[in-house]
Amino acid sequence: MPRVFEKIYGAAEQRAGGGLKLKVFRWSAKVAIEYSRACDRPRGPSWFLAGQHAVAARLVYASIGRSLGGDLRYSFSSGAPLGERLGHFYRGIGLTIMEGYGLTETTAPATCNTIEANRIGTVGPVTAGTAVRIAPDGEIQVKGPHVFRAYHNDPDATAAALVDGWFRTGDIGAFDPDGYLRITGRIKELIVTASGKNVAPALLEDRLRGHPLVSQCVLVGDHKPFIGCSSPSTPTCSPDGSPTTAARR
């Protein structure tokens, strides 16, 4: 589902083309994100930011809203992280996307945001009838009557997945002070640096993708002294100032 919202954003940016129109689109996207984040602060958006938002709504947001049907105000997303950047962008243009979290083994969502209680960047509080805990290594574990009993004809996999009735999801996360769950990565995706520091790449990769020059990127650095980033087809500039394309690391 998040891929759909990514493609909508990408298509809107492509329609802007280049030159002034592209600059206006990127400025409007930045304003939408800043406006949405400001809405979560006690004082809300400043009058200046609200004015910028009103201008951007006329220039860009209205056309994106029409491409989504014109009256869409709420939507759900699950299956993969939407990313805080996209979540704020869409709310900034008038579409609130609520994320939830669950797996096939949990039958239904274990956590979920709602219209009344939605926190961007999280997958919401724990749903009724579900117990969720964070193991010492950061793994999210789920328990409840809706959690599966066993894998069919696979006792070894079942024994590895269930510990005293708790299902080991393989995902890494943490609860904020208000009980909203934030997914930070997968145990198998953890990068362990030479100094032994565990780094979950998903959050950093999402922030890097928010830069206009970065479409996709992958963090690297397992067993290395520092973390790096590989971004294929990253636009760069040659010494004379003309744009080039090269793989950067």
Residue 233's pLDDT is what?
A: 52
For 109-144, letters b (16+ CB in 10 Å) and e give: bbbbbeeeebbbbbbbbbbeebebeeeeebbbbbbb
- For 203, the 3-state DSSP assignment is helix
The pLDDT of residue 245 is above 80: no
What is the Cα–Cα distance from 56 to 28, expressed in whole angstroms?
A: 5
Contact predicate 123/99, CB 8 Å? yes
**Torsion sign across C-alpha atoms 135, 138, 143, 149:** negative
The pLDDT of residue 240 is above 60: no
What is the model's pTM?
0.76
Where are any strands of DSSP class E within 78-165? 96-101, 111-112, 131-134, 139-143, 162-163
Q: Where are the domains of the chain?
A: 1-99, 102-184, 190-249
Q: How far apart are the first and last CA of the chain?
A: 29
Helix H segments across 68-126? 84-92
What CATH number should be reported for the domain whose range is 102-184?
2.30.38.10
Residue 162's pLDDT is what?
A: 96
- For 162, the 3-state DSSP assignment is strand
The pLDDT of residue 237 is above 50: no
Residue 246's pLDDT is what?
A: 38
Residue 216's pLDDT is what?
A: 80
Strand partners, 215: none
Residue 143's pLDDT is what?
A: 97
Greater pLDDT, 66 or 222: 66
The pLDDT of residue 178 is above 80: yes
Q: What is the chain's mean pLDDT, rounded?
A: 87
Measured CA to CA in angstroms, residue 244 lies from 10, 13, 239, 248 at distances of 21, 20, 10, 12
What is the Cα–Cα distance from 115 to 160, expressed in whole angstroms?
A: 36
